[in-house]
Amino acid sequence: MSPPEAQAVDRIDQPAMRAQVERWAAVNSGTRNLPGVATMATLLADAFSMLPGDIALVDADPVESVGADGSVSVLEHGRHLHLDVRPDAPVRMLFTGHMDTVYPVDHPFQALTDCGDGTINGPGTADMKGGLSVMLAALAAVEASPLASRIGYEVVINSDEETGSFSSSALLAGAARGKVAALTYEPALADGTLAGARGGTGNFSIVVRGRSAHAGRNPEDGRNAIVAAADIALRLAKARGPRLAVNPARIEGGGPNNVVPDLAVLRVNFRPATADDIVRAQAHIDGAVAMVAAEHDVQVSVHGGFNRPPKPIDDGAARLFALVRAAGGDLGLDIGWRATGGVCDGNNIAAAGVPVVDTMGVRGGAIHSAEEFMIVDSLAERAALSALTVLRIAERGGL
């Protein structure tokens, strides 16, 4: 490392980072716990105000929600944090993370435990309040370097990543424009492995409206919405293949045994491997809906879409991964990556044409469970990895 790089790394304060993570993880910020998310947003705004630039809490975009009764309503979300630093700099990057967790306010997993083995068990410690601390420490280290003036950046920390980033997708897309690269702070695996290529995902609510009738006296006058929804589910399942996972997850609706049900809501998840698979999946949806509507004489409406496109490792992403690997090597870290079926905001950023590494957060594991843990020593380790990566992008003027 050069002297400026070494000085930046040396200023990272792991005990302070640990205390910060513990304060943040003590706040329940499950996506639907809007008061908790608001508290978390305020804490983050206060913490990130140490960086230069304009900081704001941005209102969430409206999000459509389909209820079990087929009604469509607007689902409220918490505000998103946005920071813009040196917008006129010749080299600009994007840094993203999320303040929400998967643990609702009434979930039993609320407390932190020092496991005595170098790990902390607690809600959001790895996913991703530890990652947010890593991001902030890395950017603070960059700002203390003489290279800081060479690079500008935007930070987006959204409140709805765990439910698909529907209310923040436009904010992410706008922040991605014109950036040479992006880093996102989802956790790495416990051994430090990063996520490489990712598949995409799409979630759909398909509302089927039939006609009620007496199940014994005149069933022929009814149009069974449950049967029609099941038919759609079976047709969609036939699209499943090596490059497209299809999961009909739930059918809601129905009523008493002596009434032909006139309403059903089918929930389906798709996992396409490539953009072509999205086209193929959409064709299956359109075809199944049209055929079932005609054959069962029902009305069908489709809500939702493919909110996270697949994220391949293209040439730009490969260059960014190589830069991260080289920085890790200079820090004594062996950086590797592998493809994963999971999705995150890295998918959205890659879809905007920006190279991204999306697991720059802490090392940890068992996320989305009561066994979630963060490896404490990875706080300073991963902050150093990010800082060194950013400084080298600044020094070379890009990837």
Chosen domain end from 269, 286, 308: 308
DSSP 124-184: TIIIIIHHHHHHHHHHHHHHTSTTGGGEEEEEEEES-GGGTSTTTHHHHHHHHTT-SEEEE
Per the structure block, which two tokens stand in for 301?
């409406």
> 304-307 — which CB contacts under 8 Å span 24+ positions?
304/66, 304/202, 304/203, 304/204, 304/205, 305/202, 305/203, 305/204, 306/200, 306/201, 306/202, 306/270, 306/272, 306/278, 306/281, 306/282, 307/164, 307/165, 307/166, 307/169, 307/201, 307/202, 307/203
- Same domain (yes/no): 39, 131: yes
Strand partners, 42: none
Report d(CA 219, CA 215) in Å as an integer: 5
Q: Residue-wise over 347-377: b if at least 16 C-beta within 10 A, else e? A: bbbbbbebbbbbbbbbbbbebeeeebbbbbe
Strand partners, 211: 223
- Same domain (yes/no): 340, 300: no
- Same domain (yes/no): 138, 74: yes
- Same domain (yes/no): 304, 332: no
DSSP 34-46: HHHHHHHHHHHHH
Counting Cα atoms < 13 Å in the Cβ hemisphere of 234 gives 8
Domain CATH code at residue 233: 3.30.70.360
- Same domain (yes/no): 95, 148: yes
Chosen domain end from 276, 308, 340: 308
- Same domain (yes/no): 299, 367: no
Chosen domain end from 254, 289, 308: 308
Per the structure block, which two tokens stand in for 319?
């260059």
- Same domain (yes/no): 289, 241: yes
Output the pLDDT for position 316.
Answer: 97
- Same domain (yes/no): 35, 68: yes
Collapse the DSSP code of 26 into the 3-class scheme (helix H, G, I; strand E, B; otherwise coil) and give the result: coil
For residue 15, what are the domain limits? 3-198+311-396
Residue entry with tokens 């008061």: 35
Output the pLDDT for position 341.
Answer: 84
Domain CATH code at residue 126: 3.40.630.10
One digit per residue, the tens of pLDDT, for the chain of length 399 reads 899 899 999 999 999 999 999 999 999 999 999 999 999 999 999 999 999 999 999 999 999 999 999 999 999 999 999 999 999 999 999 999 999 999 999 999 999 999 999 999 999 999 999 999 999 999 999 999 999 999 999 999 999 999 999 999 999 999 999 999 999 999 999 999 999 999 999 999 999 999 999 999 999 999 999 999 999 999 999 999 999 999 999 999 999 999 999 999 999 999 999 999 999 999 999 999 999 999 999 999 999 999 999 999 999 999 999 999 999 999 999 999 999 989 999 999 999 999 999 999 999 999 999 999 999 999 999 999 999 999 999 999 999
Q: Where are the alpha helices (DSSP H) in the chain?
A: 3-10, 14-25, 34-48, 130-143, 169-176, 225-237, 275-296, 315-330, 345-351, 378-396
Output the pLDDT for position 236.
Answer: 98
Output the pLDDT for position 182.
Answer: 98
- Same domain (yes/no): 90, 150: yes
Output the pLDDT for position 195.
Answer: 97
- Same domain (yes/no): 378, 291: no
Report d(CA 163, CA 254) in Å as an integer: 27
Q: Sign of torsion, CA 63 105 132 51?
A: positive
Report d(CA 115, CA 373) in Å as an integer: 9
- Same domain (yes/no): 75, 157: yes
Per the structure block, which two tokens stand in for 92?
């600009």
Per the structure block, which two tokens stand in for 36?
């908790």
Counting Cα atoms < 13 Å in the Cβ hemisphere of 231 gives 19
Residue entry with tokens 């902390």: 120
Residue entry with tokens 């493919």: 306
pTM of the model: 0.95
Q: Compute the chain's Rg from CA coordinates.
A: 23
Total number of domains in the chain:
2
- Same domain (yes/no): 211, 284: yes
Could you say which DSSP state residue 48 is in?
A: H
Collapse the DSSP code of 7 into the 3-class scheme (helix H, G, I; strand E, B; otherwise coil) and give the result: helix
Could you say which DSSP state residue 229 is in?
A: H
- Quick one: which of 327, 362, 93, 318 has its CA closest to 196? 318
Output the pLDDT for position 81.
Answer: 98
